Structures are given as C-alpha cells and as structure tokens.
Homo-oligomer: A and B are copies of this chain.
Amino acid sequence: MMEMISLPVLRRVAICGGTHGNEMSGIYVVLELERQQKEKGDAAWSIPLTTVLSNPRAIEECRRYMDKDLNRCFTSALLRSPITSDTPYEIQRAQQLNSLLGPKGSEDAVDIICDLHNTTANMGLTVISYSWSNWICLQIFKHLQAKITDVPVRLLLINVPPGEAYSLESVAKYGISLEVGPQPQGVVRSDIFNFMKQGVDAILDWTETFNSGKVIEGGEVEAYLIQKSIDYPRDPKTGKPTAAIHPQLQDQDFCLLQRGDPVFLTFSGETLSYEEEEPLHPLFINEAAYYEKGIAFHLARKKTLSVPSIRAKTD
C-alpha cells in the first residue's frame, strides 16, 4: 500500500494571464474571474484568490513582450538584479510580480500560481510544472485529467533547478502553467477559452477538496520530459527557415516519431525525415513564438510516475 503524505493547507492561490500579451484566452479567463469575484464577492471561492494580468503593456499592444520575454525573467539572478533606467521593462515587472506573489523560495510566497498560456501548436490542455515541484502539482494534474474529457490533458515536466527556473509560476511554492492550444496569437477561440476556464475551475475545486482534509488518492501518472529541441533547416546566409513542418507532422503533437518519419517539407518540395535513433514525442510543433528561439519542436520521453495519496494537515 502506498504511503500517505500530509501537507500544509493551501492559503493563497494566484491565477495569472497575459504573461505573454498576445495569448488571449488567459487574459479573458482572468477578466472573467474578476467579473465573477465582483458579482459574488468573497463567497466566490473558498480560498483567497489573487488574479493578475502579468504584462499589461504587452497586453495593451497585443505583443508577446515589449523588451524581453517576461516568462524567462524569474531566475533568482534576474529577480535580484539592480534596476536602472536601462533595465528592460519585463525585468522590472518580474521584480514587481515577485514582490506581489513571492518572494520566490520564501515562506511568504503564494501557495499556487497557475499561469495561463496559449500556443499555436495542437497541445490540447498541457500542465507544465518543474520536476522538483511536489505532489500537489501532480495531484492537480491527475484531477484535471479525470475531470476534463473534451480535450486531451497531458503533463510536461521541466528539469531545471529552482534558482534557474525562469518562468512566473516558479515564484510560487507549487507552480503550474496551463498551456492550451491550438489558438493563433491575438485571437480568442471559444473552444480554447472554455478548455482553459474548465482547467482553472477544476484547480480551484481541487484546492477546496484538499483543504477540507479529505484524502486525495494516489496513483500513476504519465509525464513527458523534454530531451532536446529541433530547429528548422535554415538558409546559412539569411538565417531564414527553408522548410516548414511537414503536413504529416503538423498538429500531431505527442505522437511518437520513428526514424524515417517525415518531419519537414522544404519550400521547394523536398521531404526531410526524423533522424534520431530513439523514438521520441514531438511537442510544441510549429509554435509561433519559437521561430525566434530556433525551435521547430521539442522532443520528449514519456515516463510513468507514482504519486502518493495526500491530505491536508487541518489541525
């Protein structure tokens, strides 16, 4: 029989949207939560909820970011860096958010941050968390997977130590990013908005159940762990891609690529194949924001994890 783990009650949850200013569902989910909070008052949720629009300037301009990708600004080093008049806007904003929701790594930090993202890739509803993150995140994932059946729910674990963790949710004790797609940048689709809203509602329900002291049963979950990233073939002179994702791979996120499978189709019509020895799962295929980062898709390995039963210490 599996171990039972007791964990402190959750006292504060933050839901953040617009960390990337052109990922629209998260922005509208935050605005809808604020509308509900206004309508229902403190009775809206049993746990104090902080809602945040993370990058207001980028939201205003409907851009991913102004000076620098905000969701790469939450390393311990950048959060400590001195602010001058030349400091990029997003580093200043990261330090503000760290004051509001952190400080990162401290007792005062908010218990859960759920940061809402969209992707142009066909990622369904993907829960992203750090692999050092503990049972709370894995149990939340388990709950989402059981509760949400209209869209595939999957778990992606990132293996980066806490100090180097760069994303907003790393400020919380338990950080979760919900990545929902496919949705174009600058567009909100009802279907994608609804998947994300269901995810957020399910997380809030779960924290209520957990805080009630009820035993949350353990079990097994499947996680994806990123092994490497593949860039587009590029023109050596201009640096521009010379191929797009092959039609047979486009929208097939989480499939299993085998050596010889088509991966790219060049603009002159040539098919390029998967050349890795190991079959791996492609993720974030053709994500708009990754062109500038030199990523056509990530490759991940699948792993089964055991999650213990947990309950809140409600004494």
Which A residues lie at the B interface, using CB under 8 A?
28-29, 31-32, 35-36, 62-63, 120, 182-191, 193-194, 197, 240-241, 244-247, 250, 265, 267-268, 286, 288-289, 291-292
Contact = CB atoms under 8 A, between A and B. Distances in A.
Contacts of A265: 190
A252 to B, nearest CB: 12
B193 A244 contact: yes
Contacts of A267: 28-29, 31-32, 35, 193, 197
Contacts of A194: 247
B120 A35 contact: no
A190 B291 contact: no
Contact of A120 (B187, B190, B197): B187
A244 B193 CA distance: 9
A20 B108 CA distance: 47
Nearest to A32: B267
A186 to B, nearest CB: 4
Contact of A288 (B184, B246, B289): B184
A191 B241 CA distance: 16
A120 B182 CA distance: 12
A35 B268 CA distance: 9
A29 B268 CA distance: 10
A184 B288 CA distance: 8
B193 A288 contact: no
Nearest to A191: B247
Nearest to A36: B268
A120 B245 contact: no
A169 B310 CA distance: 65
Interface centre among A188, A189, A190, A246 (most CB of B within 10 A): A190
Contacts of A31: 240, 267
Contact of A185 (B28, B193, B197, B288): B288
B289 A190 contact: no
Given A29-B267, A36-B268, 7 more contacts: A28-B267, A31-B267, A35-B267, A62-B292, A185-B186, A185-B288, A188-B241
A200 to B, nearest CB: 12
Nearest to A292: B62
Contact of A289 (B120, B186, B191, B246): B186
A53 to B, nearest CB: 11
B244 A186 contact: no
21 contacts: A28-B267, A29-B267, A31-B267, A35-B268, A120-B184, A120-B186, A184-B185, A185-B185, A185-B186, A185-B288, A186-B289, A186-B291, A187-B286, A189-B245, A189-B250, A189-B286, A190-B244, A190-B265, A191-B247, A191-B250, A194-B247
